[in-house]
Amino acid sequence: MYLKQISVNNFKNIEHAELEFSQNLNCFTGNNGEGKTNLLDAIYYLSVTKSFFGNTDRQNIKHNENYFIIQGNFVRKENEEKIYCGVQNGDKIFKRNDKQYLRFADHLGLIPLVMISPTDISLINDSGEERRRYINSVMAQLDIIYLENLVKYNRVLMQRNKLLKQIREKNDVIAVFNEQLNEYAQTIYQKRKQFIEQIQKCFTQVYAQVSNDSEQVAITYKSDLNENNFIDLLENSFEKDRIMQHTTTGIHRDDIIMKMNDYPIKKIGSQGQQKTFLIALKLTQFHFFQQQTNIKPVLLLDDIFDKLDLHRVQHLISLVASNGFGQIFITDSNKTRLDKILEQQKNTFSLFNVERGKITKIR
């Protein structure tokens, strides 16, 4: 699968762009803040129906405008897919081949995509909420049942939390909410657990390939449900929940534990090691998507070379530009570095310059 061409209007600082891409490698150079990342985010929109960076749709409209439109033509299993996203005055329309979606969730998974960004460091440094958001975004692209159970779980959780602020003792409504939470949680828990188990071996192999180092890395799944019955947990935590006025146990508190040499990578990993860890995790996600869909996802690499030495950069590009990967988009503010990388490429590529939101093809 690959993105053949894209049209962008009034998206962030990009007033207008009409671009055609290589099926293999596409590189974008320019100073920071010129719009390279914005273009990748536009591509991300066409896959996931929203911004990679968590911005609201309104926040992505160019200043002094009231709409943005992104259109892309993808080639997927030899069929062309025309994807349209338009936002105006807060209303969003998403179309596939000129047919409007009734639910944005129905689009997820059609265009598999993996984005690697400097903001991924939040997966290591921030709270478990960031890691839950990550695993949810991965699973939602592949499994509509997972997404539906997650939406239902969060809805009931919100209702239970609201009730906890109003009551002083258990009642039948709390018991109903507990049963509903348990029903939805079981599916989510099992799918998360299976996902982490499936990618663990691949992750360690990819890390070894990317790093050329000898560190032992691991990711494990931490959940209240690993060793406990969820209904029992909810029953036993009621008094604490009532005092805290929210539900203190459940899959909404799950986490991914990231370790290097049996220690949290957050504490012992250098900046380069942490970045390599995250790159390996995202490339593992790529392989997982490919395995599940039999389609090579589009790979977006946004300014990932900072904190990596030139040897590791060249090794990484050589790895992702191999036949095991498909279409790749790379941004880098260092044109000299990009030129050195491209000189060694045997596959076709396109190089673009980005300046003040204007994107020009160089070669």
pLDDT digits (tens), the chain, 363 positions: 999 999 999 999 999 999 999 998 999 999 999 999 999 999 999 999 999 998 899 999 999 999 999 999 999 988 999 999 999 988 999 999 999 999 999 999 999 999 999 999 999 999 999 999 999 999 999 999 999 999 999 999 999 999 999 998 889 999 999 999 999 999 999 999 999 999 999 999 999 888 877 789 999 999 999 999 999 999 999 999 999 999 999 999 999 999 999 999 999 998 888 998 999 999 999 999 999 999 999 999 999 887 677 777 777 777 777 667 889 999 998 888 788 777 777 778 899 999 999 999 998
Query: pLDDT digit string (tens) for 12-44?
Result: 999 999 999 999 899 999 999 999 999 999 999
Report yes or no: 216 and 253 within 8 Å, Cβ to Cβ: no
Nearest Cα residue to 206 out of 346, 47, 316, 49: 316
Taken as a whole, the chain contains a residue count of 363
DSSP string of 215-282, one letter each residue: --EEEEEE-TTSSS-HHHHHHHTHHHHHHHTS--SSGGG-EEEEEETTEEHHHH--HHHHHHHHHHHH
Nearest Cα residue to 150 out of 123, 122, 187: 187
157 CB contacts (<8 Å, ≥6 apart)?
181, 247, 250, 252
Calculate the CA dihedral of residues 126, 131, 134, 139 and round it to 10 degrees: -170
Query: pLDDT digit string (tens) for 283-341?
Result: 999 999 999 999 999 999 999 887 677 777 777 777 777 667 889 999 998 888 788 77
The neighbouring-strand residues paired with 86 are: 69, 93
Amino acid at 27: C
Whole-structure pTM value: 0.93
Give the number of other CB atoms < 10 A from CB of residue 223.
19
Helices marked H in the chain: 36-48, 122-125, 128-142, 144-164, 172-211, 230-236, 238-244, 265-268, 271-293, 310-320, 335-343
Domains of the chain: 1-112+295-363 (3.40.50.300)
